[in-house]
A and B are shown apart, each in its own frame.
Chain A
C-alpha cells in the first residue's frame, strides 16, 4: 500500500485531543504521522495551519512539550512512525543536540524543517544520523538541478512540494506535477512522497500512481478546526473523533484500493519499529 501521511499540529485544539487524533489517524490507515510544532512565524504555511499554530501556542505548546507529546502517544499505543515538523528557530533555541536527544527519548522517527534548506542543514543531517532520526529532505518544483544533490542525501523518504506556494487547500494541482514526480523518482533511492495542496480523494486517486505516498495537512487541520469545540468537550469528543475518522477514511479511500505493490515503498525510519516507551 502507498503511504498515507497526515499532518496535525501538536496541541491543536489541546494536548489530549492531539493524542486522540493520532490514534484515530493510525486506525484510519495512516502509515506515518507528521506532527507539526506550532511556531509564531510559520513562513511555509498558509492560513489554515497558521490558525492551528496560533491555537496551539495559546495552549502553551512548545517544541519540548510537542516532543513529549510523542512520548505520550507512544504510551497510548501509537505505533506508526512519527515525523516532527518544526521550523528551525525553536530547534536553535532548544539546542540541536538536545532536540535530537529529546526526539529520540520520546520515540520520534524523523525530523522535517521547512526553512532549513540543504545548504544550511549539514549539521542537522549529521546529528540526525548520529541519533538515528533521519533528517527528511524536501524538493520543490523550482529545485531543477538541485534535485540530484538533495536526493543523494535523502534519508527515509523524499518529500516533494507539489506546487509553488505555502501549505493550503488547492482545487487543482499543477499540470507539470506528474512530470516533476517522475523526474524526482529517477534520482531518488528512497520512496518519494508528495504534499502541499492535496486535499481531496480525487487528487489522491490521481497522484497515487506516480508517487509512493501522499501527505495531507491543511484539509485535515481544517476538519479539526471545524470540529474543535466538540473535540474539546469531553462529552462530545468520541462522536467528533468518529466523524473525523470517517472524513479521513473517505479522503484516502483510493489508496486502499491499490492492493498490489507496484514498487518497493517501504519507508525506513528507525532501525527498530517503535513499540512505545516502557517506563
Chain B
C-alpha cells in the first residue's frame, strides 16, 4: 500500500494522467525531478529546515481534556495543524513544491484556490523564495473571501478572478491548468491538494505526510501506543492523506469525513466518495460528482475547502479496498462541533476541520476510555468567523 502509485501513476485503477498532450512532458519533468529530490538528503534537509524555522513545526499534539471529559468514552487528541504559519497544513505542501520549483529553475508559480487558504500559502512561499505568483480564484470566491484576496495581494501575488463556469474552485482549477498549458515552459503549477494528474497526488502526499509522521511519534511519546482511530476531513484530501499515510500499515482505524452540506439525500453536498461515481476530473481518474452524461456537477458545502466535486485518487483507492472508511458530516453538525471546540477547548477550528471533529464527537462516547482518537485539526477558523456568524444569525435562536 505504501508503494503506490505505480509507474503509471495509478492507485489501483485510480489516478493516471488525463491531460492534453502538451502537458505530458512537463509532467514527466516534474516526476523525474521529484524522484531525484526525494532521494536527495539535502533536499529533505532543506524542506525540514523551512518547516521548522519558517512554519513553526513541529505542531503540537493537544489532549482535548475538557471535551473528552464532557463526552465520555475515548480520549481525544488534536494534531494542531492550525498552529502552522498561515494557519493550516497547506503551507507544508507549498514549501515542498516551491523548493522543487526552485530546484527545477522555475521562478513563476501558478496556484488555484477556493477559500484562499492554498492561495495564501502559495503567495507566502513565493514571497519567501522570491518567486512570482499568480493565483486563480473563482469570481464568486473572490467576492466571498475578500479578506483572503487582500492577504494574497499584500504578499505580492496577483489574484486572477475566474469567470468561466460557476466561478468557484473547480473553474479556478480549470483555468489554472489552461494557463499552465500555455506557459508550461517557464511556470510551475503548485496544486494545493492530492488531486490532479500524476505525479501531483503522490507529490502532495509526500509533502503532507509530515503530519502523520509527527503525530505518530508524539502519540507514542504521550500514550505509549498508536491511536485506535484517526479522523480527518476530506475535500481533495491532502490533510487526510498526510495524516493517514504513515499509519496505513498499522492496525489503526482511519475515517475520512466528507462534507454532507445540507444532507447527502439532497443535491447540495460535496460527499464525493459517499455519493459520486468513477470519472475523470482535473487529470485524474477518481470519484466525481457528475450527472449520468458525464458532466461534472456543482458541489455544495458551507466549507469552501471541502466544496470540490472530485477527490484525491488515493482516497478513491483506499475507499475501494476498504482501508479507510469515508463518512460525511452536515453543515449543521460541523458548525456545532466548531462551537463546542471553541467553548470547551479555546480553539476555533476551520469549518473544514470541524467536520472531522464532529465525527470524532459522535464516535468518542461509543468507545471505551482505553481507546484513543486522533483528529487532524487541519486549520484555524479565523477565516471562517464571518461565515459562522452569518450561519448562526440565520438559524434558529439557541
- Which residue of chain B has its CB nearest to the CB of A57? B295
A-B contact count (CB 8 A): 120
Interface assignment of A77: CB less than 8 Å from any CB of chain B? no
Interface flags, A19-49, vs B, CB<8A=1, else 0? 0000000000000000000011111101100
Interface assignment of B181: CB less than 8 Å from any CB of chain A? yes
Interface assignment of B398: CB less than 8 Å from any CB of chain A? no
What's the minimum C-beta distance from B27 to chain A, rounded to whole angstroms? Answer: 9
- Chain A contact residues (Cβ within 8 angstroms of B): what range? 35 or more
Interface assignment of A101: CB less than 8 Å from any CB of chain B? no
Check A40/B21 contact, CB under 8 A, given A50-B164, A88-B280, A166-B182: no
Interface assignment of A193: CB less than 8 Å from any CB of chain B? no
- Chain B contact residues (Cβ within 8 angstroms of A): what range? 35 or more
Chain A residue contacts of B279, Cβ below 8 A:
89, 92-93
With the chains together, A87 CA to B8 CA distance in Å? 20
With the chains together, A117 CA to B26 CA distance in Å? 13
- Which residue of chain B has its CB nearest to the CB of A63? B293
B296 touches which of A41, A91, A146 (Cβ 8 Å): A41
Chain A residue contacts of B281, Cβ below 8 A:
41, 89
Contact present for A161 and B296 (CB under 8 Å):
no
Interface flags, B199-214, vs A, CB<8A=1, else 0? 0000000000000000
With the chains together, A94 CA to B170 CA distance in Å? 23
What's the minimum C-beta distance from A205 to chain B, rounded to whole angstroms? Answer: 25
Contact present for B22 and A161 (CB under 8 Å):
yes
Question: Within A131-176, which residues are at the interface with B (CB < 8 Å)?
Answer: 138-144, 146, 150, 161, 164-166
Q: Is the interface of B mostly helix, strand, loop or mixed?
A: mixed
Identify the interface centre among A42, A54, A115: most chain B CB within 10 Å of its CB: A115
Contact present for A46 and B295 (CB under 8 Å):
no
Contact present for A93 and B290 (CB under 8 Å):
yes
Chain A residue contacts of B170, Cβ below 8 A:
41
Identify the interface centre among B26, B165, B280: most chain A CB within 10 Å of its CB: B280
With the chains together, A188 CA to B293 CA distance in Å? 35
Q: List 25 A-B contacts (CB under 8 A).
A: A39-B295, A42-B174, A43-B19, A46-B178, A62-B293, A89-B290, A89-B294, A89-B296, A90-B293, A92-B278, A92-B294, A93-B290, A93-B294, A114-B20, A115-B18, A115-B20, A117-B19, A120-B18, A142-B22, A142-B184, A144-B25, A146-B24, A161-B22, A165-B22, A166-B181
